[in-house]
Amino acid sequence: MRVLLLLRGMRSNLPMLVLAICICEGTIAFLAMFAFPPLSLLMVFLGLLTLAIAPLAGIALEQLAVLVAYLLNIEEDTH
């Protein structure tokens, strides 16, 4: 039951998590611009990759929550 609550919480807070990750990547890219410029470029592309993977992670979390709810015989709300 706790696993299902954790999955539902992760699914509902995924946009904030992605935002926090992108802010951290941007901060590292900005600081790396002065110390090691190739790392700054790598962080920019990593940020774009993060934004590309985020919808897939949302779909995967939703499907995993549905599967866990099915295994626990709990009615899953689909919104």
Report which DSSP code applies to 26.
H
pLDDT at 64: 92
Choose among 75, 54, 72, 71: nearest CA to 11: 54
Determine whether 59 is exposed, middle or buried from the number of CB atoms within 10 Å of its CB (0-12, 13-18, 19+).
exposed
Residues in the chain, pLDDT under 70: 76-79
pLDDT of residue 77: 64
Largest pairwise CA distance in the chain:
55
Provide the pLDDT for residue 79.
57
